[in-house]
Amino acid sequence: MKKIAQEDLLSLEEYARQREAFRQKVMAHKKNRQVRLGEHATLYFEDRLTMQYQIQEMLRAERIFEHQGIQEELDTYNPLIPDGSNLKATFMLEYTDAGERKAALGQLIGIEQKIWIRIGDFDKVYAIANEDLERTTEVKTSSVHFLRFEFTPDMIRAAAEGAPIAMGIEHEHYHAEVNPLAEETRKALLADFA
């Protein structure tokens, strides 16, 4: 999947004019790109469109219009665009109660290493987590992690030929599995291998 360049972005003024329509397009696109894993965990699968939206929103919020600042945003978010052999996701642990969240993050250290995707009858592929910076300490994990799942050509071919895709978490304090993924989600994620 092609990375985003500065010329692919809208100016702040043009983005302001197109923002609502663009946002609606992205929200509809994201609908089939998220997988809920149990009550408190969600994988949000990223691609070129979701990252363009993220970059445009950051430029807007921070009023960034100079070349260097724009390039820093591109350098931050382009690594989250799939490369053809992988799926990339933002993983979020979501607890509305602050006390419950604090306790859970203390119990779920290492959860980002226990998230997996399986295509058909192949072995599970575990996440490669937080390649940009470490988000877990000795006392707690973060509520947000950035994940990459790398697949072999045989796995990708099987998925393209209709093999079911399953996902899950197997942490000692959190177990969840979705098997198989909804067909709309499976089809949306297949596009990331193009």
Query: Is 43 domain-assigned?
Result: no
User: What's the whole-number mean pLDDT along residues 170-189?
Assistant: 97
147 lies in some domain:
yes
| Domain span at 12 | 1-30+48-81
Summarize pLDDT for 77-112 with one digit per residue, the tens: 999 999 999 999 999 999 999 999 999 999 999 999
Same domain, 138 and 96: yes
Task: Please state, in angstroms and rounded to a whole number, the distance separating the CA atoms of residues 7 and 10.
Answer: 8
DSSP the chain: -PPP-GGGSPPHHHHHHHHHHHHHHHHHHHTTSEEEETTTEEEEE--HHHHHHHHHHHHHHHT--SHHHHHHHHHHHGGGS--SSEEEEEEEE--SSHHHHHHHHHH-TTGGGSEEEEETTSPPEEPEE-SSS----SS---SEEEEEEE--HHHHHHHHTT--EEEEEEETTEEEEESSPPHHHHHHHHGGG-
In terms of domains, do 157 and 99 share one? yes
Same domain, 69 and 102: no
For the chain, what is the domain count? Answer: 2
Q: What is the mean pLDDT of the chain?
A: 95
User: Phi and psi for 116 in degrees, rounded to 5?
Assistant: -135, 160
Q: Which pLDDT tens digit goes with each residue over 28-51?
A: 999 999 999 999 999 999 999 999
pLDDT band of residue 131 (cuts 50, 70, 90) is: confident
Give me the mean pLDDT over the 58-86 stretch.
95
Residue 174 lies in a domain: yes
pTM: 0.92
Answer whether residue 162 is part of any domain: yes
Q: Are residues 89 and 65 in the same domain?
A: no
| 14 domain-assigned | yes
Note whether 147 and 124 are same-domain residues. yes
Instruction: Please check whether residues 92 and 169 belong to one and the same domain.
Output: yes
Asked if 72 and 91 sit in the same domain, the reply is no
